[in-house]
């Protein structure tokens, strides 16, 4: 997560990374290599400043404050930044140089405690609206039931627009990556990540830890796996162990077939023998931090979400469920939140072509008593 950090911030971060202070070097000796059970980055650019240490999986910043942070203006600036970060769901814990030098055990125990505590920030219980950027050949596209794809625009431009409109997150899927055995385009992810200030999930062609690590370093906040997880369920365990469950979204494409909901692979092209309900329970048990459930029968039809099945799944699991497939109007979002009580709703074409504007959608949801995050107007 970079939250819109610009090239200057990235350049400064690189310089600082090679010139750590004495106390930063001491703490990095304990944080590096996942020694505390979580992966940290040093000198990580976020928005307009550089965090000393950042754990992506747990959305945790660790800062070491020198004596300058006792100055009133610096203290005030620290408070403003911390409020901003917490509004984005990122927790900040601070230590002094003295604490790192003389009370390192206490410092490490505090970090461990915060790794174990989920932090959602302000508005953590709000329902989320998530545009989906389906990408083919570097362009955002959307069709009916994953066929007859149409060009819906530049993904970088769309991502920026959605971040300005008040989208809560983005999902960026290279929908041809698995089908054509292509790796996700890391450079495109970097471009999108540098232009938005909201969380960002990336999927497509992720088959091993190194794929996920590359995407995380490119700027993704979470990764989404689908076909690869069905073919190799242990991949979920591996990713959850390597990065934390908050990092792992398991996407499931389902179709109704002979009275059963069946998992499909490769963008809904290939049926499996797995029943969707059983597979989702297994995915959760292996370490899925979220479930992105797409009804392929509803996808692209604009006839509404599959609220009944979504409710069944949402009642059965203990992780957030993202509803996908079928959004055609504002009432469909009201229905899926009221009837299925899912945590988030995802759509593509209705957002891409301006059929539903996110600020208008959120105002209707709010009027219906559904809690959502309302963003201030973009400058």
Nearest to 333 by CA among 347, 320, 321: 347
Q: Alpha helices of 58-103 — where are they, by DSSP H?
A: 72-87, 97-102
* 209-218 helix and 186-193 helix, angle to the nearest 10 degrees: 30
CA 201 to chain centre: 4
Question: Minimal CA–CA distance to 67: which of 103, 21, 108?
Answer: 21
Quick check: 159 and 192 in contact, CB under 8 A? Answer: yes
343 is catalytic: no
Residue 76 CA to residue 367 CA, distance in Å, equals 36
Tell me if 363 sits within 8 A of 372, measured CB to CB.
no
Name the catalytic one among 134, 174, 211, 299: 134
Q: How far apart, in whole angstroms, are the C-alpha atoms of residue 12 and residue 294? A: 41
How many beta carbons lie within 10 A of that of residue 223, not counting itself?
Answer: 22
Using CA atoms, how far residue 57 sits from 184, 281, 327, in Å, is 20, 22, 30
Neighbours of 273 (CB within 10 A): 6
> Strand 49-55 and strand 40-46: pairing?
antiparallel
| 356 close to 331: Cβ distance less than 8 angstroms | no
The closest of 362, 376, 364 to 126, measured between CA atoms, is 362
Given the residues 65, 253, 335, 343, select the one marked as catalytic. 253
- The span from the CA of 301 to the CA of 133, in Å, is 17
Residues 6+ apart with CB under 8 A from 351: 131, 162, 358
Token representation of residue 80: 């403003």
Active site residue 174: no
Dist CA 154 CA 14 (whole Å):
29
Q: Is 98 exposed, middle or buried (0-12, 13-18, 19+ CB in 10 A)?
A: exposed
Residues recognised as catalytic = 134, 253
């Amino acid at each position: 997560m970079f939250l819109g950090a610009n090239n200057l911030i990235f350049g400064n971060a690189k310089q600082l990374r090679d010139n750590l202070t004495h106390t930063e070097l001491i703490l990095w000796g304990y944080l590096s290599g996942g020694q505390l059970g979580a992966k940290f980055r040093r000198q990580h650019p976020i928005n307009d400043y550089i965090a000393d240490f950042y754990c992506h999986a747990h959305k945790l910043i660790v800062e070491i404050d020198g004596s300058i942070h006792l100055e009133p203006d610096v203290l005030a600036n620290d408070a403003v930044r911390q409020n901003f970060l917490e509004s984005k769901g990122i927790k900040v814990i601070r230590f002094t140089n003295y604490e790192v030098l003389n009370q390192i055990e206490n410092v490490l125990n505090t970090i461990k405690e915060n790794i174990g505590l989920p932090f959602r920030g302000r508005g953590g219980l709000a329902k989320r609206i998530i545009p989906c950027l389906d990408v083919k050949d570097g362009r955002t596209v959307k069709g009916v039931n994953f066929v007859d794809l149409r060009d819906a625009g530049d993904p970088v431009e769309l991502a920026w627009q959605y971040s300005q409109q008040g989208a809560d997150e983005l999902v960026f899927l290279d929908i041809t990556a698995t089908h054509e055995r292509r790796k996700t385009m890391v450079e495109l992810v970097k471009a999108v990540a540098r232009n938005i200030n909201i969380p960002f999930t990336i999927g497509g062609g992720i088959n091993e830890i190194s794929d996920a690590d590359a995407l995380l370093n490119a700027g993704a906040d979470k990764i989404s796996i689908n076909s690869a997880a069905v073919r190799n369920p242990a991949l979920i365990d591996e990713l959850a162990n390597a990065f934390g469950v908050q990092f792992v979204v398991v996407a499931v494409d389902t179709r109704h077939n002979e009275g059963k909901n069946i998992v499909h692979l490769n963008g809904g092209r290939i049926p499996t023998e797995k029943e969707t309900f059983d597979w989702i329970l297994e995915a959760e048990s292996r370490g899925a931090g979220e479930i992105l459930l797409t009804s392929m029968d509803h996808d692209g039809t604009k006839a509404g979400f599959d609220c009944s099945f979504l409710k069944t799944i949402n009642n059965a699991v203990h992780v957030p469920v993202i509803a996908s497939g079928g959004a055609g109007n504002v009432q469909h979002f009201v229905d899926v939140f009221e009837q299925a009580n899912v945590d988030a709703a995802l759509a593509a074409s209705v957002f891409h072509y301006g059929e539903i504007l996110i600020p208008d959608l959120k105002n209707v949801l709010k009027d219906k008593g559904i809690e959502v995050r309302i963003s201030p107007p973009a400058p």
